[in-house]
Structure 1
């Protein structure tokens, strides 16, 4: 029961800690021997169980009824998916321009007047499908400025922006990316973004402790260490689910949307502005009723793939950090 309560509480863990607390990207992360503890194994077991159960339910009558219900509820927004994403992107770039001094997200600072002009240009480009590729190019330029100023490891938190840029460019050009639709491109980028971000909750849980002290109610009385492990596991599993079959990814996107929106009420307008683009992407995934031959997968592949994705992401994060910042893995 405690684990279930912690899973529910983890909805508020999606406030991006770098926007509210002190952090040190180059600092020594928690060693893997500390991360891969008994609590971690227990939480992974719970995640595997629920993911596997969802995969077993999807091809049944219950799964089909759930998809039909989702289709009925989301149809009005599904017909306006492109317009929604364009409108939210315009809101995002106008908002960070109005606040001033922000590159892409609140912790990425800039004093460049060129960036402000580019942000307004990107927002203006959302008015027409023909100018979407220009807005996409502007987003890529700002992302590149961020990499130059803050390093590739820091910007690895935000591939969602490249995914949105690709979506806009492909939509404007009316093309796919090697057979992958624009919406699938941004869906993959959202999954990778959130899987990467979840590792941070295990590697640097202490960054979030001041936030948990200030907003103590979100932990429901659980120990901060355990809470951060649970929050990371919930986020990683849901992020991985975005890459899976139609019902699984749509349900995961719905849960993540609820988590992000509830975090906005807890942490205010900075969180709302910063997460507006990914919320729009998640809503688009919830509404997406397309299916393909690639979506037919055996249920047992889900837990195996989840564990493989977790292992690979942990490996890349820790080995990459050690290579760039000369830190220890264990």
Structure 2
């Protein structure tokens, strides 16, 4: 790998700013390339290299900068401006989300043989029709819990067919199910609003996916060979390290303070939409729900008092989340597949 003295900051900055070009890095590789989840992951001694550590340090710096900006007087001005510019979407976000979920479920019915996401296949002919029926239930608020039950049921079936470790890629579906059920019933989950439950599930989904980029970077190498321009001229190993760090810090930011999480949601939306242009309708279908979930986070104007401790604690919480997800991913893979 080339030294980060010459490539680190430009590459990470490019990945953060140029969402159009970096969108392919967040395309779900299992939808487009061969993968072997039971294979041996890249060893931690290879992942935790000096380049990785420097990328993480840069991402922590970006997170602290965002927290400090929000804590400053400029943060209030930015939040006020964001609230005003997203007012119409916020007022209609439930309708937008239900329409997007309808598009998603009808598309799955049209594809056929698919359980919730493109790489999960089934031979059961009735599953597409269940998904079409779920789409119809989105027309009325009182039947949203029915859709929620359907999503949970399909998720459980997918776990029985593909295993819990594979479905650990998709806790966002459970968050969407919770959002729909709580919205339809007009309730919270132990005080957490529907959008907050969905936000946490999206964050967990993307942090898990980030670790998978480090554990199995070679799954994405065929994509980088087909579209070398997205790697900014850098080698595939370095690019996948950086792409995973960008995804992880933005995913972590979704559970932090209001301006930080809304800015992260905006950047992730840009990345996912750019991936649709690169990879077409399968990517549009697969990422539709998470884009809608991120839009709900972007327009959420719930007030929160931001204190200096949020700036100070950000790197510690980020580091703890990074260590936890890497530990759970690698240890979970070892236990499930018995691969060292």
Q: Same fold (TM over 0.5)?
A: yes
**CA shift for structure 1 position 64:** 1.2
Q: Say which SS state the counterpart of residue 108 (structure 1) adopts.
A: coil
**Kindly tell me: are residues 296 and 84 of structure 1, through their superposed partners in 2, closer, same or farther at Cα, counting changes over 3 Å?**
farther
| Alignment partner, residue 277 of structure 2 | 265
Aligned 8 A contact 1:241 1:249 in 2: yes
Equivalent of 1:231 in 228, 231, 243: 243
| Alignment partner, residue 5 of structure 2 | none
Aligned 8 A contact 1:10 1:230 in 2: no
Instruction: Map residues 1-330 of structure 1 onto 2, 5 A cutoff.
Output: 1-7=10-16, 8=18, 9-292=21-304, 297-328=309-340
Cα distance in 2 for residues equivalent to 1:146 and 1:29: 23
**Kindly tell me: are residues 6 and 132 of structure 1, through their superposed partners in 2, closer, same or farther at Cα, counting changes over 3 Å?**
closer
Q: What number of residue pairs does the alignment pair up?
A: 328
Cα distance in 2 for residues equivalent to 1:6 and 1:281: 22
**CA shift for structure 1 position 288:** 0.3
**TM-score relative to the length of structure 2:** 0.94
Deviations 1:292-329 (A, max 9, x none): 4698843110011000000000000000100010111x
**CA shift for structure 1 position 101:** 1.1
Cα distance in 2 for residues equivalent to 1:292 and 1:65: 14
**CA shift for structure 1 position 72:** 1.4
**Kindly tell me: are residues 192 and 296 of structure 1, through their superposed partners in 2, closer, same or farther at Cα, counting changes over 3 Å?**
farther
**Kindly tell me: are residues 102 and 294 of structure 1, through their superposed partners in 2, closer, same or farther at Cα, counting changes over 3 Å?**
farther
Cα distance in 2 for residues equivalent to 1:137 and 1:165: 7
Q: Structure 1: which 5+ residue stretches go unaligned?
A: none
Q: Structure 2: which 5+ residue stretches go unaligned?
A: 1-9
Cα distance in 2 for residues equivalent to 1:298 and 1:224: 35
Q: Say which SS state the counterpart of residue 58 (structure 1) adopts.
A: helix
Cα distance in 2 for residues equivalent to 1:214 and 1:221: 13
**Kindly tell me: are residues 287 and 295 of structure 1, through their superposed partners in 2, closer, same or farther at Cα, counting changes over 3 Å?**
farther
Deviations 1:223-260 (A, max 9, x none): 10000000000000000000000000000000000000
Aligned 8 A contact 1:6 1:220 in 2: no
Q: Say which SS state the counterpart of residue 189 (structure 2) adopts.
A: coil
**TM-score relative to the length of structure 1:** 0.97
Q: Say which SS state the counterpart of residue 289 (structure 1) adopts.
A: coil
**Range with bigger deviation, 175-184 or 5-14:** 5-14
Cα distance in 1 for residues equivalent to 2:74 and 2:169: 36
Cα distance in 2 for residues equivalent to 1:137 and 1:294: 36
